[in-house]
């Protein structure tokens, strides 16, 4: 099994985007990229920890490739927004690919460059690519939010502008 870590705004949405993909073993919502050890959701939202909301994906590389995971990631974020994602604003909602090894780093950079050159977006791709650091799982009430609270989740996802953007751009 391998790990992939992505930050793409609200981790509820990111978790749902990956959870049912064949070859994905598990997805955890959490925080990474900052300095504070064991941050809470409230601390991360205060923008004092340096962490972003992220997901940690455990996957079987024989069933799903890292390239396929990158494709899912790019199709569910606005890679041109440096200040958050959709209705979620702030440093904790920035889009970041956290690589776990040199191969992931190379593939992440190549996929970003390919997307930037594709002409799909008028603005440049600003999604960051950084080395993975300690991942802290979010509080249990965040896990599988989209399944535990399907109506609220759908309303949030629609209201945030994420669904509209995805339909328009892809």
Query: For residue 77, what are the β-bridge partners?
Result: none
Residue spans of the domains in the chain: they are 2-169
- State the pTM of this model: 0.96
Q: What is the CATH number of domain 2-169?
A: 3.30.1060.10
Task: Quote the Cα angle for 169-82-79, to 5°.
Answer: 25
Contact 1, 60 (CB under 8 A): yes
- Residue 153's H or E segment, with its range, is helix 150-159
Residues acting as catalytic residues: 10
Tell the burial category of 34 from Cβ atoms under 10 Å away from its Cβ (0-12, 13-18, 19+).
Answer: buried
Which pLDDT tens digits describe the chain residue by residue (170 residues)? 999 999 999 999 999 999 999 999 999 999 999 999 999 999 999 999 999 999 999 999 999 999 999 999 999 999 999 999 999 999 999 999 999 999 999 999 999 999 999 999 999 999 999 999 999 999 998 889 999 999 999 999 999 999 999 999 99
Cα gap 92→89, rounded to integer Å: 8
Q: What is the pLDDT of residues 32-62, one digit of tens each?
A: 999 999 999 999 999 999 999 999 999 999 9
Cα gap 127→95, rounded to integer Å: 5
């Amino acid at each position: 099994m391998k790990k992939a870590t992505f930050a793409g705004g609200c981790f509820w949405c990111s978790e749902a985007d990956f959870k049912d993909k064949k070859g994905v073993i598990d997805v955890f919502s959490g925080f990474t990229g900052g300095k504070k050890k064991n941050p809470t959701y409230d601390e991360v939202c205060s923008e004092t920890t340096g962490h972003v909301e992220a997901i940690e994906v455990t996957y079987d590389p024989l069933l799903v490739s890292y390239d396929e995971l990158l494709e899912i990631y790019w199709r569910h974020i606005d890679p041109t927004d440096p200040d958050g994602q959709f209705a979620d604003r702030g440093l904790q909602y920035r889009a970041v690919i956290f690589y776990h090894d040199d191969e992931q780093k190379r593939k992440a950079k190549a996929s970003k460059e390919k997307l930037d050159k594709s002409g799909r977006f008028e603005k440049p791709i600003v999604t960051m690519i950084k080395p993975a650091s300690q991942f802290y799982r979010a509080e249990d009430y965040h896990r599988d939010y989209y399944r535990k609270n399907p109506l609220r989740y759908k309303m949030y996802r629609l209201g945030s502008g994420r669904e509209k953007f995805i339909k328009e751009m892809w």
